[in-house]
Amino acid sequence: MTVKERFEGIIGWFSENMPGADTELHYRSPYELLVAVMLSAQCTDKRVNLVTPALFERFPTAHELAGATSDEVFEYIRSVSYPRSKSEHLVAMAQRLEEVYGGRVPDTVEELTTLQGVGRKTANVIVSIVYDKPAMAVDTHVFRVAERIGLTTGSKNPLQTERALVRHIPEKLLGRAHHWLILHGRYICTARAPKCATCGIASWCRTRQRELAKAEKNR
């Protein structure tokens, strides 16, 4: 199977079976999504969704968050991963958002990554979801799943994965493909016990096909 055939098969299956894939984070504004994505680093969306209602009630905009102390923010997010550093990043992010961008969340990756605590993955999520720009955000799920199923080969870091995916996925589908791979990694192609028997893309998965070929050879 060629790389092109694998991409076409996987994209075709997801397009038909998961056409409405979207983020599982709860938000009502670009500011809220930015905060939620920052909190989701190495943390589950479920956990983030539990803490953000109270956080957003207390700090409804970047203006209120910019005037807070990291200790105040910490009390609202203490149950997420790395709450101390995230508290500091959130306050610093909001302060720059107010001082430089007038409270408006920027619409480019270059501007977003000038905000403290905002890396390329987070920036790509924002420009893709909020501003509907073609961008491929690569988190741990996307990085792992893309390599396992054969969309990438030997990628050493998220940027290499991003570039490989962008080369082969139609621009109009990049944002949706990000969610396809995340959700697939979260619920089907899990790290320790992938559900290969019920996986819809198993026919195109490099790892699954190698396992089946090996089993057949050893019969």
Q: Do 60 and 53 form a contact (C-beta atoms < 8 A)?
A: no
Per annotation, catalytic residue among 46, 121, 132, 214: 121
Find the helix packing angle between 140-149 and 158-168, rounded to 10°.
Answer: 60
Amino acid at 54: A
Distance (Å, rounded) from C-alpha 195 to C-alpha 23?
Answer: 22
Does 121 qualify as catalytic in the annotation?
yes
DSSP label at 106?
A: P
Query: From the centroid of its chain, how far is CA 157?
Result: 15
**Helical segments of the chain, H only:** 3-17, 30-39, 45-58, 62-66, 70-77, 83-101, 109-112, 120-129, 140-149, 158-168, 174-187, 206-217
Per annotation, catalytic residue among 45, 132, 133, 139: 139
Distance (Å, rounded) from C-alpha 126 to C-alpha 137?
Answer: 9
How distant, in Å, are the alpha carbons of 33, 188, 208, 218 from that of 203? 35, 14, 8, 20
DSSP label at 204?
A: G
Catalytic residues: 121, 139
